[in-house]
Amino acid sequence: MRGIIVASAVFLAATGVARAGFEICNDGSVRANVAIGYMGEGDWTSEGWWRIEPGDCKTVLTDELTRTRYYWRATSATGPDWPARKFMFCTVRKPFTIVGDDDCTAWNYRREGFNEIVLTKGTTGFRLRLDDEQRLAALRAEEEGFTTQDSVADVVQSMPPANEPPPTPKRASKQTPAEPFGFSVSGETLTVSGAPPIGSLGEPYTVTGVFQGCEYYDVSMACLLNSGGFTYRAQSNDATPEAMLDAMVDMKTFAQQRWSGDLVAQNGGEVEVTLREVVQLDPDPHGDTRKAVQGEWIDSADPSQRLSLIGNIYSLSYGTGEPETGIFAFSERCDEPVGEGLYLNFYPDSGEASTCYAVSTASTSRLNISQMGMLQGAAYIRP
């Protein structure tokens, strides 16, 4: 039996000649984690997760499509998720195939919303395209206090999918593995209980940064925090209870948090940590500024120079050259000894030194920045 449907709008697929299959392409700037739903042999079925990097496509169903309705859900750890409507299916954090969509919680599954695609009868293949604008619409809606389920743009196009075999999803276990230790919740604080003391697994740490959300990572899940150009990753294992990370999924992204635990490993700008305590702090003092500058920009003096700011991720490109990508953050000062003000720091994924810009204007329509030590600045406008 289908779950309750509360959204009236649907995603429509254009008709046309297409080879068999359901292909999903990621035209956005961050990795997408995708799950699908459909009527299987006798019952509703959900499958996931396919990890689709920016610029890539994955064929999630290779056979000729015989139904007129399919469903999808896409999430991201480095920004708002793609909007999801209230067509409900069962999911879990690990790769899965679940038959049936009733009593999800009774089987230790999550019950989550999917978007609906309606195909013209006779359509056997189509492509779904994901982009950043859909995610930004979700972020704006979340911050303004309403859902986007009735205002998401039509993003489905009928076309031949790529000849790429889908990953083989694993059926989720209907038993929850016992956690080696648990966690408790007190107000805005999550605390691990019954765990080895801090310092047992690595160097003790406490860091304050911007919470990026949680993602599905290989066969486990991870939550991310950006601070000072580093990405701190807490992954479900024997050191951080998966139930704690699961609780963090519902925490507000791009809000300030303080993490404490052990530093386990570091690879460039990626830091693997365990969690012993997570504290949700007061709102980010630069949250309104970051919200205002989200989206695409072009240099008013040279339109071939483009800047994309999505969540806390930036992409800076010149013409057809390879873009520079990394983490951005607003602060009251640069890493260099300069006076206080509003500054924009870029931390490249390449591991090169960060770049600091003084910000003179940061609004929804204009972004004026000047690189420290340079005489000429850049004035960005919307394309």
- With a CB cutoff of 8 Å and minimum separation 6, the contacts of 3 are 87, 88, 89, 101, 102, 111
For residues 125 and 18, the answer to whether their CB atoms sit within 8 Å is yes
Range 338-351 average pLDDT: 81
Both 354 and 292 in one domain: the answer is yes
User: Nearest CA to 21 among 31, 13, 29?
Assistant: 13
Which of 280, 299, 323 is where one domain is finished?
280
pLDDT value for 139: 58
Q: Which of 32-36, 217-221, 233-237, 268-272 has the highest mean pLDDT?
A: 32-36
- Tell me: the pLDDT tens digits for 298-307? 999 999 999 9
Both 342 and 236 in one domain: the answer is no
- Tell me: the pLDDT tens digits for 131-164? 888 777 655 555 554 433 333 333 333 333 333 3
User: Is residue 164 one of the residues assigned to a domain?
Assistant: no
Q: What's the chain's length in residues?
A: 383
Q: Write the CA distances from 41 to 38, 66, 100, 116, 225, integer angstroms.
A: 10, 12, 10, 19, 42
Both 305 and 265 in one domain: the answer is no
pLDDT value for 60: 92
pLDDT value for 304: 92
- Tell me: the pLDDT tens digits for 101-117? 887 877 878 888 898 88
User: Is residue 254 one of the residues assigned to a domain?
Assistant: yes
Q: And the tokens for 65?
A: 């499509």
User: Is residue 2 one of the residues assigned to a domain?
Assistant: no
pLDDT value for 141: 53
pLDDT value for 244: 83
For residues 215 and 224, the answer to whether their CB atoms sit within 8 Å is yes
pLDDT value for 165: 34
Peptide bond into 44 cis (omega under 30): no
User: Is residue 175 one of the residues assigned to a domain?
Assistant: no
pLDDT value for 237: 61
Which of 280, 298, 321 is where one domain is finished?
280
Global model pTM greater than 0.85 = no
DSSP letter at 335? S
User: Is residue 166 one of the residues assigned to a domain?
Assistant: no
Tokens 């289908």 belong to 2
Maximum alpha-carbon separation in the chain:
68
Residue 2 has pLDDT above 70, yes or no: no
User: Is residue 168 one of the residues assigned to a domain?
Assistant: no
Both 195 and 265 in one domain: the answer is yes
Counting Cβ atoms within 10 Å, is residue 185 exposed (0-12), middle (13-18) or buried (19+)? exposed
Both 212 and 132 in one domain: the answer is no
User: Nearest CA to 109 among 132, 131, 126, 88?
Assistant: 88
For residue 1, the cross-strand partners are none
Both 197 and 301 in one domain: the answer is no
Which of 252, 280, 308 is where one domain is finished?
280
Average the pLDDT over each of 60-64, 68-72, 333-337 and give the range with the smallest value: 333-337
Both 237 and 374 in one domain: the answer is no
| CATH code of the domain covering residue 201 | 2.40.50.140
Task: Please give the residue range of the domain that contains residue 373.
Answer: 287-381
Both 272 and 368 in one domain: the answer is no
Both 92 and 198 in one domain: the answer is no
Both 34 and 152 in one domain: the answer is yes
pLDDT value for 138: 59
Both 45 and 151 in one domain: the answer is yes
User: Is residue 256 one of the residues assigned to a domain?
Assistant: yes
| CATH code of the domain covering residue 301 | 2.40.128.370
What mean pLDDT value characterizes the chain?
77
Provide the number of structural domains found in the chain. 3
pLDDT value for 365: 94
Per-residue confidence at 241, pLDDT binned at 50, 70, 90? Answer: confident
Q: And the tokens for 234?
A: 């807490």
User: Is residue 149 one of the residues assigned to a domain?
Assistant: yes
Average the pLDDT over each of 100-114, 171-185, 275-289 and give the range with the smallest value: 171-185
For 143-152, letters b (16+ CB in 10 Å) and e give eeeebbbeeb
Both 136 and 252 in one domain: the answer is no
